Amino acid sequence: MNLSAGFKPLAMILPGLALAVLIIGYPIYDLGYASLHEVSRFGQFRGLNGLTNFRDVFQDPLFYGSLIRTVIWTFAVVGGTLALSLPIAMMLNEEFYGRGLARVIIMLPWSISLTMTAVVWRWALNGRAGLFNATLMDLGILKEPIEWLGEAHQAFTVEILIGILVSIPFTTTIFLGGLSALPQDSYEAAAVDGATRWDQFRHITLPLMKPFINIAVVLNVIYVFNSLPIIWVMTEGGPANGTDILVTYLYKLAFRFGQLGKASAISLIMFGVLMVFTIIYVLLVMRGEAGADAEE
Amino acid sequence: MLKKSLLFWLILSPLVVVILFPFGVMFVTAFRPREELFTYPPTWTFSEFRWANFAEMWVKTNFGRALLNSLYVSVLSTVLAMILSIPAAYALSRYRFPGKRAYRTFLLMTQMMSPIVLVLGLFRMMVTLGLVNTLNSLVLTYAAFNMAFTIWMLQSYFSTIPRDLEEAAWIDGAGHLTSLLRVFLPLAVPAMAVTAIFGFINSWNEFVLALTMIRSSDGFTLPVQIYSQVAGRYQIEWHHVMAATMLATLPVAIVFSWLQRFLIRGMALGAVK
């Protein structure tokens, strides 16, 4: 199995490992240190202040507002994405005319920077001159143009829908990977036994796809929870903090308001949440690999 | 088959329309004369293709500079990530070594680490290192954040290259290095190219770190440059913004469309096992 062990493989992984530890490890340490200190606007430490930064965070109504919206944002985007991506992947996994083109189109949003997507949508949704209103008015669905991003609830809903749109390609890709590995003979056997397509879906596809669905849920939760560009570009968390989620609020605290101690505390809280999901992900992957090893 | 195809396209059509819609918006706004931006009621049609929009935009938005910055950062960070990832992926796919399991766990965890949660700490670190407002701060961070992905992709492809070939070369008297260069490398080049391109696209599209680390507009990468044409401006020149977005987006979208099937294969192979 192994060629020659020794120190060679370690020497091969070490340079990359060193860079990752420096760039990812050091900031975690720095944030931990800063969160326990009073920090001036300009980043000077003014002495230990225990958990004051965390207390400030937990007494801040804007933090709770952002937290609740983060939960809504994450659940809505991930839920919507999964509900759409599984049927899409199942269709793309079957032969039909133009399948190659359909795949290319559905993967398209993935190739474009979220920033650019958000910029284009911000213009398309412009109340006075946006082509979204133009289209709806041409189709007779709207009589008057709507200012889509002018009011917080509506803007947030629009942002969630765009979040779903840009998450579909990645999720569909995971599902396509899973579907292509499903055993074809169990479907044939089921068809012989007279199972309907719905039965096949419920009793064969869904159980066999479960590991892929689990992974898609966890990865999407992590990505969406951390996603800044869509909300930042379209509304910057406004109007009146009404579309702020934790990442936008954190970014404002750190780089607009100069509340570095408090921002460090929020970073650490988010890091903790992220760790929980990451550990779930690692366990899922490890379990999948253990299963694969056992089969060998 | 024909009936099924029509049905599938019918079901997919709303999504297809919504995906293509922003491209349409980009296109008709980029070519539209400035006077027709705010016609009321808004329409899709416009009087003429104003190619001059692109030339104007190039100068006014300092597009060339941002393009060079984006190229510099994306190329260098990809090269750095590949130089560090190729040996690591080779070690993962060919050797058994102490701590391998821990290393794989570490990779999975860094893959999940998002720059935004660490951005304040990263910024402070770059201040300490004197790298704030330099493109090299982005080269280092992009390489570090991309590495987990590139190592996973490379390792899953490397594992599909049969070991026998290399072993056969040794038996024929070739040294370890020769077999690596003559046998393994040629087979691995396509996988490396695909992985590098995806790494490049990731860096090309990154926003949060570029927005944070680069303080002066001379150093802006394309996403930040375009964002700066929109953010906090009293008057936004939307035809320029859309022309810039189109130029920045289309080449990447074309390359990505061409390569997306490799991504599906890579994931099926083991990136998500």
Residue B154 within a domain: yes
| Tens digit of each residue's pLDDT (9 = 90 or more) over B55-95 | 999 999 999 999 999 999 999 999 999 999 999 999 998 88
Chain B residue at shortest CA distance from A216:
B272
| Distance of alpha carbon A223 from alpha carbon B140, whole angstroms | 21
Measured between alpha carbons, how far is B148 from A108 in angstroms, rounded to an integer?
23
Name residues 38-67 of chain B within 8 A of A (Cβ): 38-44
* B6 Rama sector, left if φ>0, alpha if ψ -120 to 50, beta otherwise: alpha
Chain B residues touching A160 at Cβ < 8 A:
none
Asked whether residue B27 is assigned to any structural domain, the reply reads: no
Domain holding B253, by residue range, is 61-271
Q: Indicate yes or no: CB of B273 within 8 angstroms of CB of A292.
A: yes
- CATH code (residue B92): 1.10.3720.10
User: pLDDT for A189-224, tens place per residue?
Assistant: 888 888 888 888 888 888 888 888 988 898 899 899
Q: How much is the pLDDT for B79?
A: 97
Q: Across the interface, do A98 and B238 touch by the CB < 8 Å criterion?
A: no
Residue B30 lies in a domain: no
Is B161 in CB contact (< 8 Å) with chain A?
Answer: no
Model confidence at B173: pLDDT above 90: no
Domain spans in chain A, listed from the N-terminal domain onward:
66-173+209-295
Over residues A52-86, the pLDDT tens digits come to 889 989 999 999 999 999 999 999 999 999 999 99
Q: What is the pLDDT of residue B121?
A: 93
Interface probe for B, chosen from A57, A96, A106, A218 (most Cβ of B below 10 Å), is A96
d(CA A102, CA A91): 10
The shortest CB-CB distance from A180 to any of B141, B144, B268 is to B268
Residue B55 lies in a domain: no
Whole-angstrom distance, CA of residue B267 vs CA of residue B273 = 7
User: Would you say residue B77 lies in a domain?
Assistant: yes
Characterize A125-143 residue by residue with b for buried, 16 or more Cβ atoms within 10 angstroms of its Cβ, and e for exposed: bbeebbbbbbbebeeeeee
Beta-carbon neighbour count of residue B178 at 10 Å?
A: 13
Q: Classify residue B12: in a domain, yes or no.
A: no
Instruction: Please report whether residue B266 resides in a domain.
Output: yes
Place of tokens 């719905």: A198
Q: What's the ipTM?
A: 0.89
Does A5 have pLDDT greater than 60?
Answer: no
Looking at domain A66-173+209-295, which of 1.20.1260.10, 2.30.110.10, 1.10.3720.10, 3.20.20.70 is its CATH number? Answer: 1.10.3720.10
B223: in domain: yes
Q: How many domains does chain B have?
A: 1
- The pLDDT value recorded for residue A1 is 42
